[in-house]
Amino acid sequence: MKVLVAVKRVVDYNVKVRVKADNSGVDLANVKMSMNPFCEIAVEEAVRLKEKGIATEIIAVAVGPTAAQEQLRTALALGADRAILVETSDELNSLAVAKALKALVDKEQPQLVILGKQAIDSDNNQTGQMLAALTGYAQGTFASKVEVAGDKLNVTREIDGGLQTVSLNLPAIVTTDLRLNEPRYASLPNIMKAKKKPLETVTPDALGVSTASTVKTVKVEAPAARSAGIKVKSVAELVEKLKNEAKVI
């Protein structure tokens, strides 16, 4: 089984995000970037499938700037066999990424595509579903458990009412939830080996895909600062403040 895993370069989750002075976007100057945490889970799940003898090849894919090679090398160090970067400096939306991934799926013909359910920067939770629609593949989203049974894929999903298990025909698309697994750390020997693994760079034009966005960012603002809370001495005082100051009753 060939497995394709999508990874995204995002601002590290430990970094406090700041807005540019001109409100045109997020300030990325001298900011630590890393692999999206949900994408790390996707890579780990693919590696575990290979360790079980189910997956034969893992291809890590990223769509973004040249610097995204860093995250692809991380995926290679974690256990991916080769990597492909669809290099573009365009501001990407979910549909543009899904179209680029669809072109790679057509080219590579994987039996399984694993993505993080969402990215921690845009938080859209769209790319996996859009890719499934474009390819016509079955999809299992928010996966907390993945099992391969012959030519079927059993995916346990986290839903509002609890857990739901769906049986998918391969090829299929899976998006990962937090409880699917705990990603490993890349060892130093594997980091060194990753430098020699193949990393192919292609352009959207070569894939016949347009990454031009139909959405324009007008303004980016930081959330308004919340005022400090206060303590009241009695229920009567609380009711008075809710009625006259907060005006919620």
Q: What pLDDT tens digit does each residue of the chain (249 aa) get?
A: 999 999 999 999 888 888 888 888 888 888 899 999 999 999 999 999 999 999 999 999 999 999 999 999 999 999 999 999 999 988 888 999 999 999 999 999 999 999 999 999 888 999 999 999 999 999 999 999 999 988 899 999 988 888 999 999 999 999 999 999 999 998 999 999 999 999 999 999 999 998 887 788 888 888 888 888 888 899 999 999 888 888 888
Q: How many CB atoms lie within 10 A of CB 82?
A: 16
Three-state DSSP state, 141: strand
249 occurs within a structural domain: no
Count of structural domains within the chain: 1
Q: Taking the C-alpha atoms of 214, 220, 222 and 224 in order, what is their torsion angle to the nearest 10 degrees?
A: -100
Boundaries of domain holding 213: 2-244
Q: How many CB atoms lie within 10 A of CB 135?
A: 18
CA distance 157 to 140: 7
Report the candidate in 147, 142, 137 with the shortest Cα–Cα distance to residue 117. Answer: 142
Q: What CATH number corresponds to the domain at position 190?
A: 3.40.50.620
